[in-house]
C-alpha cells in the first residue's frame, strides 16, 4: 500500500492510500487534484473517508462519488453530502484489504471523527483531519477544551509507530509556538531542523508519528511540568488539566 499526500488549496493535504489498482481518499475538499492523481497513476477510486463537515474537506465528495461510484464514509452527527455510510466510535469496516476503525474526536467540530487504518505488514495510519496537527491541534470552533483534551489523549494512546496524516501543512508555524512553550526540548529543536530542510525542498513534513508527537507536541504534553509552567506564565489562573489545555490553546490562538 502506498500513501500519498495530494496538495490542495493553500495548505491542505488530501490523503490517498492505494494498492496500485484501487484507492481511497481522505477529506477531498477539491475533486480536481484527486481526479488528476487517479488518472496519472491508473487507479480506481473505491472509497472516500470524511472526518468532518468543513468545506475544504467535503467540497469534492459529490463529484468524486458520481464519477467513480466510490462508497463514502463520514461522521454520524454532522451534515454531510448525501448519500453516505455514517460511522462513529467503535465502527469497523474493510476497504482495500485494510481494517478501518473509527474513533470520535470532538473538539474542532462537535462530530469530528478519525480513522485508524490497519495495513497488513505496515505501521498503522491515522487520518485525523483537523484534530491533531504535527506540533499542534485544531482550533476549537465547536467543541470545548475538555473535549479536545480527551480526543488528543485518545489518539496519544495509539501505537508509537502509527503514521499521523494531518489535513494541513501547518507544521512550520506550529513548531514556532511549540518552541516558545518548550524552548529546552531537544527533540523539538531537532525536529524543527528536519522540517525546515524538508520545506526548503518543498517536500511535505507529513506524515508524522505518534511517538514524535508525544515528544514535541505541546498539546499532547500539557500534563508535563515544563508545559504547565509555561502556560501559567501566560495564564496564572489555569489549574486543572482542562484549564491548562484551554489556556494553551488560547495562547496559540493569539501567538
Residues recognised as catalytic:
52, 54, 56-57, 108, 130, 168
Q: Among all chains, which residue has been given the C-alpha cell 503514521? A: 163
Q: Among all chains, which residue has been given the C-alpha cell 491542505? A: 12
d(CA 237, CA 118): 42
The grid coordinates listed for 84 are 453516505
The grid coordinates listed for 99 are 481494517
DSSP 77-145: TS--SSS-EEE-TT-EEEETTEEEEEEE--SSSTT-EEEEEE-TTS--EEEEETSEETTEE---SSS-H
The grid coordinates listed for 103 are 474513533
The grid coordinates listed for 179 are 518552541
**Edge-to-edge strand list for the sheet holding 12-18:** 2-8, 12-18, 22-26, 44-49, 71-75, 85-87
- Beta-sheet strands, E only, within the chain: 2-8, 12-18, 22-26, 44-49, 71-75, 85-87, 92-95, 98-104, 113-118, 125-129, 132-133, 136-137, 163-166, 208-209
Cβ atoms of 143 and 52 within 8 Å: the answer is: no
Amino acid at each position: 500500500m502506498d500513501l500519498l499526500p495530494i496538495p490542495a488549496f493553500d495548505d491542505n493535504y488530501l490523503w490517498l492510500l492505494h494498492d496500485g489498482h484501487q484507492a481511497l481518499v481522505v477529506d477531498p475538499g477539491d475533486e480536481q487534484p484527486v481526479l488528476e492523481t487517479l488518472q496519472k497513476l491508473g487507479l480506481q477510486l473505491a472509497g472516500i473517508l470524511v472526518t468532518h463537515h468543513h468545506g475544504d474537506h467535503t467540497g469534492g465528495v459529490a463529484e468524486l462519488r458520481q464519477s467513480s461510484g466510490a462508497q463514502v464514509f463520514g461522521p454520524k452527527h454532522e451534515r454531510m453530502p448525501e448519500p453516505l455510510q455514517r460511522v462513529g466510535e467503535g465502527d469497523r469496516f474493510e476497504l482495500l484489504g485494510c481494517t478501518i476503525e473509527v474513533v470520535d474526536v470532538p473538539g474542532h467540530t462537535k462530530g469530528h471523527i478519525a480513522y485508524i487504518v490497519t495495513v497488513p505488514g505496515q505501521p498503522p495510519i491515522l487520518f485525523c483531519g483537523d484534530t491533531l496537527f504535527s506540533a499542534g491541534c485544531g482550533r476549537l470552533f465547536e467543541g470545548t477544551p475538555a473535549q479536545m483534551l480527551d480526543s488528543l489523549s485518545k489518539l496519544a494512546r495509539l501505537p508509537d509507530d502509527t503514521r499521523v496524516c494531518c489535513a494541513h501543512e501547518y507544521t512550520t508555524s506550529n513548531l514556532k509556538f511549540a518552541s516558545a512553550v518548550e524552548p529546552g526540548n531537544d527533540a523539538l529543536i531537532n525536529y524543527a531542523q528536519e522540517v525546515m530542510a524538508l520545506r526548503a525542498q518543498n517536500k511535505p513534513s507529513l506524515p508524522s508519528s505518534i511517538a514524535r508527537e508525544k515528544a514535541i507536541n505541546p498539546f499532547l504534553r500539557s500534563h508535563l511540568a515544563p508545559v504547565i509552567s509555561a502556560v501559567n506564565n501566560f495564564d496564572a489562573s489555569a489549574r486543572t488539566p482542562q484549564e491548562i489545555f484551554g489556556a494553551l490553546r488560547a495562547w496559540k490562538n493569539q501567538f
